[in-house]
Amino acid sequence: MSKTREKYPLSKKKIIKKTIVSSIGLIFLMGVIFICSLSFLAFLQNAAILLIALIASVIMFVVLIGLVYYYQTWYFATYYYDFTDDYVIIRKGPLTPKEITIPYERIQDVYVDQDLFDRMLGLYDVHLSTATFSSGMSAHIDGVETAAADGLRTFLLGKVQERVGSKNK
Amino acid sequence: MDNQPDPKKTYSIKDYPIRTIWLFKSALSGGVGMLITIVIIGVFLVPALSDSTDSSAAVISIGFIVFAVVFFFLFGVVFNLAILALQRSAFSFSFEDNFIVLHQGIISRQQRTIPYAVLQDVIVKQDLFDTLLGLSSLTVENAVQTPIMGGGRNGYQYSRYSRNSLGFSGNRVSIPGLSKADAQTLKLIVLAKMKQNQVHPSVTGL
């Protein structure tokens, strides 16, 4: 756990948010499969098989959500971000880690946003970007609460101003 | 092993080679995807074929198809492997004082020189098999504008394939197949050289 993460920590609510989003996606998917197989099940005209299928799908749903929750906990634990003297390092992903390093001088903007579920849970997503597109997609710290989000944003903007802005004077 | 990389020294591919195991991993993972597709198609084809009246002919035709699939898979993997090996031998990088100098191309040779001052970020990543094999992929990007392919979702510029391929293209230089330690070392080297080669104060960030 880096000093930056201790000072501006990720919120545990992030795990819940990701699990909820996956659950909704899963419900939608299972709904689609159910509708597609409806004609097939009606043709069988056997209530017992219908019941078994229903119970099996509920069990499968619970198991999958459990797996998603476990994966999100793992993701949360291995989420690494650090603001060193010269650059920002963000490393995400337990199985397929991706690490991006951005020097402060290259930061083009810092923005903070919330999607629908973030708003419900009071979380923010802090984005950095450089002049490349893929940095905008992968250099972000999502799932921080208000205090941490403001702190991160202020710190980053301060650092950028120090490295880039003052030289223009 | 030096803790702080020396920004004055030149580092080249000779010291940080692309591992041979990456060639096999890359060729196989490309082939496996294709194989799964063929198997899924085959699962639908088999019942259709077994409808024929003569059962022994059905068995022979199924056997023939299985053989053909395996053969084409192996051929595809070997062909992929050969291409990757050629690409690797044609590729070279050198981290000099002020620039990165790169060469690539099997048939048509290309040379690229990128100053450190314009590099935007350094990315080190591993996919699932890389993690198992202890490999990493290093990517550096500059601010070149690339045409946006595949319209629709704003700015989805690259297919997954080109993101992991070896060499330079558009705004990035990708060096996959490095060992984890080498990738981290090269990352520190690039960052040190970037710091050494700052832009003059009149330009902001680019």
The per-residue pLDDT for range B87-140, each reduced to its tens digit, is 999 999 999 888 999 999 999 999 999 999 999 999 999 988 889 899 999 999
Where is average pLDDT lowest: A109-118, A123-132, B63-72, B156-165? B156-165
Q: Is there a contact between B27 and B81 (Cβ–Cβ < 8 Å)?
A: yes
Task: Give the span between the Cα atoms of A118 and A82, in whole angstroms.
Answer: 23
Task: Give the span between the Cα atoms of A18 and B144, in whole angstroms.
Answer: 34
Measured in angstroms, the CA of A136 and the nearest CA of chain B are apart by 10
Q: CB distance B123–A134 less than 8 Å? A: yes
Q: Is there a contact between B164 and B124 (Cβ–Cβ < 8 Å)?
A: no
Sign of CA dihedral A71, A74, A76, A79: negative
Q: When comparing pLDDT for A144 and B12, which is higher?
A: A144
Q: Which amino acid, one-letter code, is at B142?
A: N
Residue B203 is predicted with a pLDDT of: 55
Rg (CA), chain A: 22
Could you read off the pLDDT of B36-84 as tens digits, one per residue? Answer: 777 777 777 666 655 555 667 777 777 887 788 788 888 888 888 999 9
Under 8 Å CB pairs connecting chains A and B tally to 78
| B37 CB-contact burial (10 Å; exposed 0-12 / middle 13-18 / buried 19+) | exposed
Decide if pLDDT at A66 tops 90: yes
Task: Give the span between the Cα atoms of B177 and A57, in whole angstroms.
Answer: 42
Here the contacts of B107-113 (C-beta below 8 Å, separation 24 or greater) are: B110/B168, B112/B168, B112/B173
pLDDT category at B29 given cuts 50, 70, 90 is: confident
Measured in angstroms, the CA of A76 and the nearest CA of chain B are apart by 18
Angle value at C-alpha A130, between A5 and B13, nearest 5 degrees: 90
Task: Give the span between the Cα atoms of A77 and A71, in whole angstroms.
Answer: 10
Q: CB distance A97–B125 less than 8 Å? A: yes
Could you read off the pLDDT of B144-165 as tens digits, one per residue? Answer: 886 655 443 434 444 555 567 8
Q: CB distance B123–A167 less than 8 Å? A: no
A2 to chain B, any CB pair closer than 8 A? The answer is no
Which of A86, A131, A168 faces B120 most closely, judged by CB atoms? A131
Nearest CA in chain A to B137: A98
pLDDT above 90 covers a percentage of chain A that reads 53
A84 to chain B, any CB pair closer than 8 A? The answer is no
Total-model pTM: 0.81
A130 to chain B, any CB pair closer than 8 A? The answer is yes
Nearest CA in chain A to B190: A101
Residue B2 is predicted with a pLDDT of: 46
Could you read off the pLDDT of A5-63 as tens digits, one per residue? Answer: 888 989 999 999 999 999 999 999 988 888 877 777 666 667 777 788 888 888 999 99
At A77, list the tokens.
Answer: 């634990």
Please name which of A145, A147, A109, A104 lies closest in space to residue A125, comparing C-alpha atoms: A145
Which residue in the block uniquely carries the two structure tokens 């591993």? B126
At B90, list the tokens.
Answer: 């044609």
- Dihedral of the CA atoms B30, B112, B194, A134 (nearest 10)? -40
Domains of chain A (ranges, CATH numbers): 1-164 (2.30.29)
Q: CB distance A103–B201 less than 8 Å? A: no
Chain A residues touching residue B206 (CB < 8 angstroms): 131
At A11, list the tokens.
Answer: 């919120």
